[in-house]
Amino acid sequence: MLGAEVFTSEDPSVGSTPGRSRHARQTVAFYHHIAEIDLNPAETTTCTFAQLDICFRRLPRANREGKVMTGSEAVSERPSLYDRLGGVYSIATVVEDLIDQIMVDPRLNANPRVDEAHHKVPPAGFKYLVTEMLCGAAGGPQRYSGRSMEESHRDMAITPGEWQAFMDDLQTTLDKFSVPAAEQAEVKALVESTRAAIVVPVV
Ligand code: HEM
């Protein structure tokens, strides 16, 4: 076990049942091919960000559709950050953990505008929009459909200290799910790229 579970199926037929997600079927297929990950798919199938990352690195000749690639394709095609993180199921799980943390973080709710805004929107919608945004930014097929970062945060007057609290919470979540260092750096760079639109400038 490399870290906290982000995708679990107890169902032995998950790999072949029509209607199961492609992610689930791919995940099971990976386990059939990787001897080092000693899990029996007939009993349980458990994925973590880190395990999925290992899966992709050890199967350089299989692309996401399971097609065999030519030698040059296998060398040149690096999986997107989205794929290395494990796709939408893994990213949504991580976002859920992050939002659950920031919703109750006293360092953020000390800002009365943040506190009020946090409690007027249903967390599920907030989680959906952040998942959609991060998935799209990481190279997934999703396209963010919410408001701009400037528009959705400008009334909250978010300070640099509150931003740091958010980044601390993000670090806690990334560590909890054992996201590898390289992918952590890429996720944090994506989040940092929104900072100028969210944090009020210090005058
Ligand atoms: C200190 C940092 C942050 C705080 C306190 C914060 C707080 C909030 C709150 C309270 C809302 C709900 C606003 C409303 O509907 O009235 C919101 C919306 C949102 N935030 Fe943040 N946020 C922070 C940083 C971020 C970052 C870094 C991202 C993305 C990487 C992000 C993505 C979003 C999205 C996608 C929405 C929904 C926009 C919409 O309603 O269309 N936030 N944020």
Domains, the chain, in order of start with CATH, read: 7-78 (no CATH), 87-198 (1.10.490.10)
pTM as predicted: 0.71
pLDDT at residue 71, as a whole number: 53
Q: Using a 6 Å cutoff on CB, does residue 127 contact ligand 1?
A: no
3-state secondary structure of 45: strand
Which residues does 179 contact at the CB level (< 8 Å), separation at least 6? 49, 50, 85, 94, 187
Expressed in angstroms and rounded, the spacing between residue 149 Cα and the centre of ligand 1 is: 7
Q: What is the mean pLDDT of residues 72-99?
A: 89
Q: What is the mean pLDDT of the chain?
A: 75
Distance CA 111, CA 53 (A): 38
pLDDT band at 72 (very low <50, low <70, confident <90, very high): low
CB distance 98 to 170 below 8 Å: yes
According to DSSP H, which parts of 71-122 are helical? 71-76, 81-85, 87-103, 106-109, 112-120
Residues 6+ apart with CB under 8 A from 96: 127
Testing ligand 1's pocket by substitution, the residue of 126, 158, 162 carrying the most ligand atoms inside 8 A of its CB is: 126
> Stretch 48-67: mean pLDDT, rounded?
38
Please list, in sequence order, all residues whose beta carbon lies within 8 angstroms of the beta carbon of residue 68, skipping any fewer than 6 positions away: 61, 62
Ligand 1 atom with the smallest distance to the CA of 121 is 15
**Residue 163 beta carbon below 6 angstroms from any ligand 1 atom:** yes
**pLDDT confidence bin for 132, thresholds 50/70/90:** very high
Give the span between the Cα atoms of 23 and 182, in whole angstroms: 22
pLDDT at residue number 121: 87
Instruction: Please say whether the beta carbons of 132 and 142 come within 8 A.
Output: yes
Mean pLDDT lowest among 13-17, 112-116, 131-135: 13-17
Ligand 1, atom 25, lies closest to the CA of 198
Q: What is the pLDDT of residue 83?
A: 98
Is residue 89's pLDDT more than 90?
Answer: yes
CA terminus-to-terminus distance, the chain: 48
Cβ-based burial of 152 (10 A; exposed 0-12, middle 13-18, buried ≥19): middle
Centre of ligand 1 to C-alpha 128, Å, is 11
Whose structure tokens read 């992918």?
A: 183
Ligand 1 centre and the CA of 99: distance in Å?
10
Report the amino acid identity of residue 117: A
Judged against a pLDDT cut of 50, whether residue 12 lies above it is answered with no
By the 8 A CB rule, do 52 and 27 touch?
Answer: yes
Q: Tell me the HSE value of 110 on the side-chain side, using a 13 A CA sphere.
A: 10
3-state secondary structure of 194: coil
Question: Nearest residue CA, atom 1 of ligand 1?
Answer: 163
Confirm or reject: Cβ of 158 under 6 Å from ligand 1. yes
